[in-house]
Every structure is written in C-alpha cells, then in structure tokens.
Structure 1
Amino acid sequence: MQPSFKFDSTLSRGLLDVLIKAGLIAALVIFSFQVFEPFKELMIWSVILAVTLYPLQCWLKTRTGLKDGYVATLIVLFVLLVLIAPIYLLAINAGDSIDKVVALLKSDTLSIPPPPESVAAWPLIGPRLYEVWLKASGGLSDVAQHLLPYLKGSGRVLLGAAASAGGAFLLFISAVIISGIIMAFGETGTRAAERIANRVAGADRGKSMAVLCTATIRAVAQGVIGIAFIQMLLIGVGFVVKGVPGAGILAVAILILGIAQAPATLITIPVIAYVFSTEGFTAATIAFAIYSFVAGLSDNVLKPLLLGRGVDVPMPVVLIGAIGGMVVKGIIGLFIGPVILAVAYNLFWQWVDQQGPDSTSESPK
C-alpha cells in the first residue's frame, strides 16, 4: 500500500504544479491583454498600413539607396500631406454646410409648395405625409417645433457619429506614424512574422500562412479601402471646388458606399442633376458633370488593377466585414472589419484545403 500512496502523492504534486503554472500563465496573459487592450485598434491599424505600404518602401529603398528609417519617414510625411489637407478641407466644408442649413431653417425663408391632394390617398403613409407636408408648406418653424423631440435624439446620434469620426481620424494619423516605425524595422518584422507563423502552423505551412495573410491585407487595403479613399478625394475635391452644399458630408457618404461596394454614382448623379437645375447648362457645370461622372466610375478601372493582386476575396465578405465592423467598433471598424474578416476567411479555406489526400472538395473562393 505504501508504494501506491507514494505514487498518488507524486501524481498529486505533479498535477498541482501544472495547475499552478497554468494559472500563473493565464494571469499573465490576462493582465498583458488588459494592458494592451487600449492600444489594440491602433496597433491593428498600424500593422495594416505597414504591410500595405512596405512594398513602396522596398521600391524607394532600391531606387534611392537610403536607409529604411529615412525611407519610412519620407513615406509617412507624404501620406500625411496627401491625406490630411483634403480631409481637413472636407471636414471644414461639412461644418459650414451644417451651419448654412441651420441658418436657413432659422430664417424661415425656405418655401415648400403645398402637397397635391392625391398624396393623402397613398396607402399607409399618405395621410400622415400629407399632414406634415401641408404644415411645412405653411412654414418650417411649426414642423421643426413638432419634430423637436425627435430631432434632439437624432442630434445626439449625429454628434456621437461626428465624435467617432474625429476619434477615428486622430487614430488613423497616429497609426500612420507608428506604421512608419514598423516599416523602419521591416526585415526584422518579416522574420518575426514567419517565426510566429511557423510556431502556430508548423514549419511546412508557416511561411505560406504568413504570405497568405500579407497578400490578403494588401489586396483588401488597396483594392477596397484604398479605392474608396481615392474616390472620396477625387469626387469630394470636385464638390468643394464647385461649391456643392454639404460637400464634406457627401464625400463621407461616398467613402462609406465605396467600402460597402456600392456605386458612387448614387451620389454623383443626383448632385449633377442639382447643379444643372440651379445653375443651368454652362461650360462650368458641363465640365463639373463630366468630371464627377468619370470620377464616380473610376473604381471600375482601379479595382482590376489593385484588387486583382494577391488573393481573391468575395465581395459579400468585404461587405459583411464593413457593416459588422462599423456596428461593433464604429467608424474605425468600417475600415478594419473588412481586412480582418478577409484574413480570417482565407485562413479558414486554407485550413479546409489542407485536408488529407482523400479530400476532393474545392474551395468556393
């Protein structure tokens, strides 16, 4: 009986040691995550930007012969210069547009024609719409007073969205700077990523997994988010130069539509119609219409050039990532969501395709 007791005692001590070590490791991991959690979105943004811009750094380094740190600094300064100035102008224009709308409503000079009698016969919404429209035709002040309780709630939502957009913009600027630091140590980071992938997936699959993640990040960032940014800047600058009311807000709407894979012509065509109706057919309005229409279709040219590189990501995955990311993380999730979901999607199908030799199923990608 004594040997059995000694065996049980040794087993208990071994199990106790394992539990203590596991508990300490779990506590260390939890505490480390809590410390890192405030910087999680910033670091995700930084890594996405660094992976996307690193080929540009390699190209510039080869052409100029400069060190990695200098090249990364030049890229960061260029990105900040290209992005901050137009986005700042759009933001200022959006604020001015809101002020003009508020002033117009306060002045009560906006006249609305009375509704046709046929509106009241519309099913479901007809009577209510006719009543509100009729009040608005007599003066917007009464309607605004009636809708004031609803407008307060909408105002809080809009202020929250504006604050989220401002925070996302500051986060993006910080991420650009940190991505430059990451690119300055690009070769070391590449080796570290391959070592981590080898540890997770094994030496035979680790490198291919790291290459897949890199290609997916670049494909989505360039082919979806990059194209949406380019379209927003092209169309938004045209709206600002032409003096279109609410140009900044419309440019943000174009950015959201671009990430959601919806055509920008949903915005440009009504704006062109508005400009023609208010200013007539002149050389300036015709030139604006041609520029806006062509800029709205620019994604059809850019997508085959940028999205076709790397890997194929189905558009529903991008759309779900954009909408789900915005629901979970606000404006910043609108950009990060498609990238993360696309990486997860491709890793999942790589895992599915790495079945045994008897597997004959093909990936639906």
Structure 2
Amino acid sequence: MSFDTKAARKFLSSDFMDFCIRLGLVVVGVVACVEVFAPFLPIMLWGVILAISLYPVFGALRGRTGWGAGSAASLIVILGILLLGVPTVLLGSSFATHIFDVIGNFDAQTVTVGLPDPSVKEWPLVGEKVYEAWSQAHADLPGYIESLQPQLGNFSKAALRSAASTAGTLLFFFGALIIAGIMMAYGESGNAAMARIFSRMVGHQRGPGLHTITTLTVRSVATGVVGVAFIQALLLGVGFMMAGIPAAGLLALVVLVIGILQLPALLVSIPAIAYLWGVGDSSTLVNVLLTVYFIVAGFADNVLKPMLLGRGVSVPMPVVLIGALGGMIGAGIVGLFVGAVILSVGYELFMSWVDEAPAGEGAESAEAETFTDGTPQ
C-alpha cells in the first residue's frame, strides 16, 4: 500500500489553516475582553481582596445571627463605610476649621511663637537650623512667613492635590467595599467557581491546594500588613493624645499609611519624642514614660508582623513578605496582595515539582535496595 503524499499535504494544510483561524479568533476575543474589562480591573481586584479578607467576619456574623447572606453582607458594607467615612469627614472638618482659625489669627496678628529652648540646639543634625528658624519666627513671625512664600505656595498646591487624591481614593474604596459585599453574598458559588478554575489550570490534585493558599495568603497579608499598621497607628495615636501633641489624629493617619508602605513608624514617633522634650510642658517622669511608650509602639511591628504575617499558610513567612514588598514596589498597595499571592503560588508549585519523584525513580530505588554489589539481599 503506497503512501499518498499529496493527500497528506492537503490534509495537513487544511488542518493548519483551521488551527490558525481558530487561534486568531481566540486571541482577538481575549484582547477584546481585556480591553472592555480593563477600566474595571483595579476596583474589581480590590473588591476581591476585601471580600476574601472579610469573609471570615461575614461567616461569623451569619452563624451568630442566622441572617441571610444579603443582610449580613449589607451590614458589613454599611459598617465599613461608617467606620471609614465618619472619622474621615470629622478629621477633614476639624482640619479645615483649624486652618481657618489659624488664617484668622494671622490676619488679626494674634499668633505668637514662643522662644525655643536652648536644648533644641543639641538635637542631632538639624538642631542648629531648627533653633535659628524658630528664633526668627519668635522675633518677627510675619516677616518669617513672608520669606517662606514660595515654599508655602508650592506646599498649598501639593496639599490641594493630596486632598483631592485622598477624596478620590476614599470613594474608590467605598465602591470596592460595595463590590466586596456583593461578592460575599454570592461567596459560596464564587468559591466553587474559583476552585473549578484552579483545578482546570493545574489539575485536580493541585488545584484545591493552590486555591487554599491564594485565599489564606490574601488574608495573611491583610492581617500581617494592614492589620499591624492599624494596630500601630492606634497605639501611637493614643500616645500622641496623652502627650498633648497637636493634630494627633492626623499623625496617627500618617503612621497608618507609612505602616502599609512598610516604612518604620519611628519616622513619626521620634519627632514626637523631640517635640515632647523640646516643647512639651510635662514633668521629666511623664516625658520618660511617654518616650518609652513611643519607642515600644514604634517597634511593635517587629513583634506583631512575624506573628501575623504568613499565619495559617504553608508557605514560609519570608516568602510571603518578599512577595508583598516586591509587589508593592511594582504595583503599589494592591501589589502587596498580588505579589504575595504570585510568589506563594510559585513557591508551592516549585516545591511540589522538587518533591515529585521522576518517572521510574521509585522502581530504581526499589531495585537498588534489592541488589547491592550485584548480589541479591
């Protein structure tokens, strides 16, 4: 029986054309879907992160109250908006009122700056400059402010841009929280769908494990990064209020932000200690106690983070932390979660590949145990 070369070429040519056409249609469809979904990707991604992080609270609330999924999710969304929105509005209103009062006092020329303490000169690095500027403000405050007009103008523009950006970010977060509430209400079906997707991507043996790692990693980062930053901001905020430091709430918010950015809270607590000793009117004993408190609270993340980050996840804590930091550098705050998930899943896949015995290795090991030096055991 002779091989028909012409028929084989025709068959291969026809199949190849069909494959190229189908592949092209698939690529066009994927690109079109990505283009349509791209504007909604950031808020949807944050919605998924919030839904995964808050789902244990959602489940506990349903278990204790017996409410339906919609009612429990709605309550969490409303509480989240109130807990974030009300303090933000109060803080903004207080800050605006303070600014208007300061402007009115400047116009009435009733603002005075006290004489700096000579110990300010002894502050490391900046003591001399701070003492000199402070002394100028004490001697002639209007003239000193007039000399700072270019810097103040740039600062005011930056402050307005920052305020607009903060308001936009807050509205964005509220939208993501509403989306998270909808996802939590349909959490069971969504969880089953994600499990099927993971099983389809990496197989039925590894799929459930990677799905679990992804979920636990997001929650771990939420508690180990955002949760630790919130606890540290709360501790230092209480300390700022006890010490009588101005704008204690605003400073606590700054601590929260730099904590999420993985910067040390000592960037805020050390200036607070300097203010305490240079300007504060408390006794030496109170200053010592508050200084110890600020130092301990400033280092609290070094104790809390190893306890909470990576908790419940089979992946080592340094892998989660490196993924979170690398993701944040590349993609901002959302990269904290995405980077940690990607590196954790990659680590798990790599280690499962390392631990998996190649085909035939088991038989060779058994044969090696049976024969040593060519003689049966």
- 1:322: which partner in 2? 328
- 2:21: which partner in 1? 20
* Matched ranges for 1:175-214 at <5 A: 175-214=176-215
Q: Which is further off, 77-86 or 146-155?
A: 146-155
Deviation at 1:189, TM superposition (A): 1.3
TM-score when normalising by structure 2: 0.73
Structure with greater Cα Rg: 2
- 1:345: which partner in 2? 343
Deviations 1:222-267 (A, max 9, x none): 1111221343345446657976434454233201321233442432
Deviation at 1:169, TM superposition (A): 1.3
- Residue type at the aligned position of 2:350: V
Q: Which is further off, 16-25 or 307-316?
A: 307-316
Q: Secondary structure at the match of 2:353?
A: coil
Distance in structure 2 (CA, Å) of the matches to 1:136 and 1:257: 30
- Residue type at the aligned position of 1:309: R
Deviation at 1:24, TM superposition (A): 1.9
Q: Verify: 1:313 aligned to 2:317, yes or no.
A: yes
* Matched ranges for 1:1-365 at <5 A: 4-96=5-97, 155-236=156-237, 239=240, 244-275=245-276, 277-281=279-283, 296=298, 299=301, 302-303=304-305, 305-307=307-309, 309-311=311-313, 312-314=316-318, 315-325=321-331, 333-334=332-333, 336-357=334-355
CA contact (8 A) 1:108 1:140 kept: no
CA contact (8 A) 2:255 2:268 kept: yes
CA contact (8 A) 1:94 1:248 kept: no
Q: Secondary structure at the match of 2:317?
A: coil
Deviation at 1:19, TM superposition (A): 2.1
Distance in structure 2 (CA, Å) of the matches to 1:91 and 1:233: 18
Q: Secondary structure at the match of 1:354?
A: helix
Distance in structure 1 (CA, Å) of the matches to 2:53 and 2:354: 34
Deviations 1:77-124 (A, max 9, x none): 22223332223333334445555676778769666989x9xx9xxxxx
Deviations 1:178-220 (A, max 9, x none): 1111111111111111111111111111111101111110000
CA contact (8 A) 1:52 1:221 kept: yes
CA contact (8 A) 1:232 1:255 kept: yes
CA contact (8 A) 1:68 1:185 kept: yes
Deviation at 1:155, TM superposition (A): 4.7
Distance in structure 1 (CA, Å) of the matches to 2:57 and 2:102: 43
Q: Which is further off, 205-214 or 279-288?
A: 279-288
- 1:329: which partner in 2? none
Q: Structure 1 residues 356, 267: CA separation in 2 closer, same or farther (over 3 Å shift)?
A: closer
- Residue type at the aligned position of 2:328: A
Q: Structure 1 residues 338, 214: CA separation in 2 closer, same or farther (over 3 Å shift)?
A: same
The number of equivalent residue pairs is 344
CA contact (8 A) 1:93 1:248 kept: no
Deviation at 1:221, TM superposition (A): 0.7
CA contact (8 A) 1:112 1:137 kept: yes
RMSD: 4.3
Deviation at 1:321, TM superposition (A): 3.2
Deviation at 1:166, TM superposition (A): 1.9
CA contact (8 A) 1:279 1:285 kept: no
Deviation at 1:147, TM superposition (A): 6.1
Q: Structure 1 residues 354, 104: CA separation in 2 closer, same or farther (over 3 Å shift)?
A: farther
Gaps (5+ residues) in structure 2? Answer: 358-377
Q: Which is further off, 70-79 or 346-355?
A: 70-79
CA contact (8 A) 1:108 1:139 kept: no
Deviation at 1:174, TM superposition (A): 1.4
Deviation at 1:297, TM superposition (A): 5.5
- Residue type at the aligned position of 1:313: M
Distance in structure 1 (CA, Å) of the matches to 2:33 and 2:310: 39
Deviation at 1:349, TM superposition (A): 1.1
CA contact (8 A) 1:213 1:343 kept: yes
CA contact (8 A) 2:327 2:335 kept: yes
TM-score when normalising by structure 1: 0.75
- Residue type at the aligned position of 1:34: E
Deviation at 1:40, TM superposition (A): 1.0
